[in-house]
Amino acid sequence: MALLLGGLSMFGPFSIDTIFPAFPQIGAQMGADKLAMQQTISVYLLAYAGMSLVHGSLSDALGRRRVILGGLSVFLLASVGCALATSLPQLLAFRALQGLSAGVGLIVGRAVIRDVLHGDDAQRLMSQVSMIFGIAPAVAPVLGGWLLGWHRWPAIFWFLAAFALVLIVAVQRALPETHPPAARLPLRPPALLRGYLEMARNPRFLRLSMAAALNFGALFLYIASAPAFVLDLLRLREQQFGWFFIPMIGGMMLGAFMSGRAAGRIDGRRLANIGFACCGTAMVLNLGYTLWAGAPVVPWAVLPMSLLAFGIALVFPIVTLAILDMYPHRRGSASSLQAFFGLLGNAIIAGVLSPLLSDSALHLALGAAAFVLAGWLFWWWENRVSGRALRVPAVPAAMEPSEL
Torsion of Cα atoms, 135 then 141 then 142 then 145, to 10°: 160
Residue type, 84: L
Q: Mean pLDDT per 10-residue run, the chain (404 residues)?
A: 79 78 85 79 82 78 85 93 91 92 80 72 71 68 77 89 92 83 76 83 92 92 86 80 81 84 80 94 94 84 92 88 80 79 83 87 94 95 73 38 30
Phi-psi region of 41 (alpha: psi -120 to 50; beta: other; left: phi over 0): alpha
In Å, the largest CA–CA distance within the chain is 61
Instruction: Sketch out the chain's domains with CATH numbers.
Output: 2-178+187-403 (1.20.1250.20)
- Quote the DSSP letter at residue 179: S
Global confidence as pTM: 0.72
Distance CA 364, CA 225 (A): 9
Give residue 134's pLDDT.
64
Q: What angle do CA 345, 347, 351 make, to 5 degrees?
A: 125
Give residue 344's pLDDT.
82
Give residue 138's pLDDT.
64
Give residue 393's pLDDT.
43
